[in-house]
């Protein structure tokens, strides 16, 4: 019983599917890829029980079988082979033999019927999102989400969809991103929280896709279907924090500055900042922004002065340089706006030039109290 497949096509799929796998699975069979062969179609699945990802490949075969093959062993051998057709022979002694141009390799497999079945989604709602837009949604928000087991609702991105626009929010209580799209909408209103892991996987796959993503979801699970991929994940159960309540509305001090200049200066300052707080100090007077950092433990310090456009009172405020760098890296506008009210209240960062008809983004960062 044989099937034939291109080594490069197989490797590309295995590397994507491998991102699901955990190193310490509770079920040994989750260390395997599930191969489901139905004549000339091969469906490969990987799972960690919470998230599963599957993809379809075309093969030459007349088989109808389901087997589980060790993921690491299979990926390692396929990765080491040059591009060529590979012939897989399924033997009666529970081994699968891979025949290449110059050799053959036998791997023991398990019964595929023991592999956990994908989550079933009943009474599902549906929305379609363009893959480029969904990738932008994820990359604009995911970096701000948390990973605190005590606050699981923050370990993902909050999807809030209605008939006028859609809002996507991520926060870890130190930073927050609110990203609004006017071109993603639905006649019914929905809210759900997608965990970080499936979003990271989606982000990597969608970066080279141009298609419509079909999203099916209910209160507990979601399916993202596009091209030859199908990702199923559990949603985070719980009520998302009232993010609008923490975004300050009155911010009389407004600074506009070149994003790249500020990013580079903050990166340099962070080299000299305290390794425990990563604090950088922003001192704004007139049209001058002084960025400084100091590590008192080692007597290291830095100071730079940048030109900016500023309207407001003189202010000195401290921020975690890593948060500022993350936010500036995830904005594409040449000019950015920083809105401040006082040294002990959150600052808002947003792009000055933006595609206002379709999207709007606001980033919030909490200050660090200066010594």
Nearest to 221 by CA among 19, 49, 27: 49
Which residues, at least 6 apart from 234, have a Cβ–Cβ distance to it below 8 Å?
A: 50, 51, 119, 195, 220, 221
Mean pLDDT across the chain: 94
User: Is 149 among the domain residues?
Assistant: yes
Nearest to 363 by CA among 177, 181, 174, 157: 177
Task: Render 164-195 in DSSP notation, one character per residue.
Answer: S-EEEEEE-SSEEEEEEESS---SS-EEEEEE
Q: Which of 114, 141, 167 is the last residue of a domain?
A: 114
pLDDT of residue 25: 85
Q: Are residues 208 and 261 in the same domain?
A: no
Residue pLDDT, tens place only, 126-161: 999 999 999 999 999 999 999 988 999 999 999 999
User: 371 versus 234: which is more confidently predicted?
Assistant: 234
Residue pLDDT, tens place only, 289-300: 999 999 988 999
pLDDT of residue 371: 67
Give yes or no for residue 233 having a pLDDT over 80: yes
Residue pLDDT, tens place only, 164-213: 989 999 999 999 999 999 999 888 999 999 999 999 999 999 988 899 99
Separation CA 159–CA 139 (nearest Å): 14
Which residues, at least 6 apart from 354, have a Cβ–Cβ distance to it below 8 Å?
A: 333, 360, 361
- Could you list the residue range(s) of the whole structural domain that residue 349 is in? 248-365
Q: Are residues 361 and 260 in the same domain?
A: yes
User: Is 120 among the domain residues?
Assistant: no
Task: Render 219-232 in DSSP notation, one character per residue.
Answer: SSEEEEEETTEEEE
Q: Which of 86, 114, 142 is the last residue of a domain?
A: 114
Q: Are residues 104 and 206 in the same domain?
A: no
Residue pLDDT, tens place only, 12-45: 999 999 999 998 888 999 999 999 999 899 999 9
Q: Are residues 106 and 160 in the same domain?
A: no
Separation CA 360–CA 141 (nearest Å): 12
Q: Are residues 100 and 158 in the same domain?
A: no
Residue pLDDT, tens place only, 249-271: 999 999 999 999 999 999 999 99
Which residues, at least 6 apart from 320, have a Cβ–Cβ distance to it below 8 Å?
A: 174, 277, 278, 279, 280, 365, 368
What's the domain count of the chain? 3
Q: Are residues 236 and 290 in the same domain?
A: no
| pTM strictly above 0.75 | yes
In terms of C-beta distances under 8 Å and separation of at least 24 residues, what long-range contacts does 234-237 make, across chains too? 234/50, 234/51, 234/119, 234/195, 235/192, 235/193, 235/194, 235/195, 236/152, 236/153, 236/155, 236/156, 236/193, 236/194, 236/195
Q: Are residues 88 and 138 in the same domain?
A: no
Q: Are residues 99 and 192 in the same domain?
A: no
User: Is 210 among the domain residues?
Assistant: yes
Q: Are residues 48 and 150 in the same domain?
A: no
Q: Are residues 275 and 354 in the same domain?
A: yes
- pLDDT category of residue 323 using cuts at 50, 70 and 90: very high
pLDDT of residue 354: 57
The total of other beta-carbon atoms located within 10 Å of residue 231's CB is 23
User: Is 101 among the domain residues?
Assistant: yes
Q: Give 274-310 as a 3 state SS string.
A: CCCCCEEEEEEECCEEEEEEEECCCCEEEEEEEECEE
Average the pLDDT over 299-303 and give the result. 95
User: Is 169 among the domain residues?
Assistant: yes
Q: Are residues 268 and 214 in the same domain?
A: no
Q: Are residues 265 and 233 in the same domain?
A: no
- pLDDT category of residue 302 using cuts at 50, 70 and 90: very high
pLDDT of residue 17: 97
Give yes or no for residue 355 having a pLDDT over 70: no
CATH code (residue 54): 3.10.150.10
Contact predicate 303/290, CB 8 Å:
yes
User: Is 240 among the domain residues?
Assistant: yes
Q: Which of 244, 272, 300 is the last residue of a domain?
A: 244
pLDDT of residue 357: 67
Separation CA 67–CA 75 (nearest Å): 16
User: Is 102 among the domain residues?
Assistant: yes
Nearest to 234 by CA among 323, 291, 293, 156: 156
- Report the percentage of the chain scoring pLDDT > 90: 87
Place of tokens 């034939």: 4
Nearest to 342 by CA among 307, 371, 325, 318: 318
User: Is 370 among the domain residues?
Assistant: no
Task: Render 236-287 in DSSP notation, one character per residue.
Answer: PPSPPP-GGGGS-S---EEEEEEHHHHHHHHHHHHHTS-TTT-EEEEEEETT
């Amino acid at each position: 019983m044989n099937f034939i497949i291109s080594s490069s096509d197989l490797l590309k799929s295995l590397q994507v599917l491998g991102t699901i796998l955990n190193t310490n699975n509770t079920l040994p069979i989750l260390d395997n890829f599930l191969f489901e062969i139905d004549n000339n179609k091969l469906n490969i699945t990987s799972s960690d029980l919470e998230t599963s990802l599957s993809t379809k490949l075309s093969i030459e075969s007349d088989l109808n079988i389901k087997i589980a093959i060790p993921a690491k062993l299979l990926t390692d051998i396929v990765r080491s082979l040059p591009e060529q057709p590979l012939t897989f022979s399924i033997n009666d002694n529970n081994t699968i033999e891979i025949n290449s141009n110059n050799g053959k390799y036998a791997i023991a497999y398990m019964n595929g019927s023991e592999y956990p079945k994908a989550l079933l989604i009943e009474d599902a709602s549906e929305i379609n999102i363009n893959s480029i837009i969904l990738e932008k949604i994820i990359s604009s928000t995911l970096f701000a989400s948390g990973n605190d087991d005590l606050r699981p609702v923050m370990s993902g991105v909050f999807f809030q969809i209605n008939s006028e626009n859609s809002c996507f929010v991520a926060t870890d209580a130190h930073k927050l991103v609110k990203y609004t799209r006017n071109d993603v909408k639905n006649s019914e209103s929905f809210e759900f929280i997608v965990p970080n892991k499936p979003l990271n996987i989606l982000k990597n796959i969608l970066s080279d896709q141009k298609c419509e993503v079909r999203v099916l979801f209910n209160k507990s699970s979601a399916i993202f279907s596009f091209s030859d991929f199908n990702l199923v994940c559990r949603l985070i159960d719980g009520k998302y924090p009232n993010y609008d309540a923490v975004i300050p509305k009155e911010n009389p001090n407004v600074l506009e500055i070149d994003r790249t200049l500020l990013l580079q200066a903050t990166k340099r300052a962070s080299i000299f900042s305290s390794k425990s707080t990563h604090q950088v100090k922003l001192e704004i007077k007139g049209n001058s922004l002084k960025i400084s950092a100091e590590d008192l433990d080692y007597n290291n310090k830095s100071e730079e002065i940048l030109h900016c456009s500023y309207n407001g009172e003189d202010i000195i405020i401290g921020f975690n340089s890593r948060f500022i760098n993350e936010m500036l890296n995830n904005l594409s506008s040449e000019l950015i706006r920083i809105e401040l009210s006082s040294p002990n209240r959150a600052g808002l960062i947003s792009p000055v030039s933006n595609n206002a008809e379709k999207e709007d983004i606001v980033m919030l960062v909490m200050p660090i109290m200066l010594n």
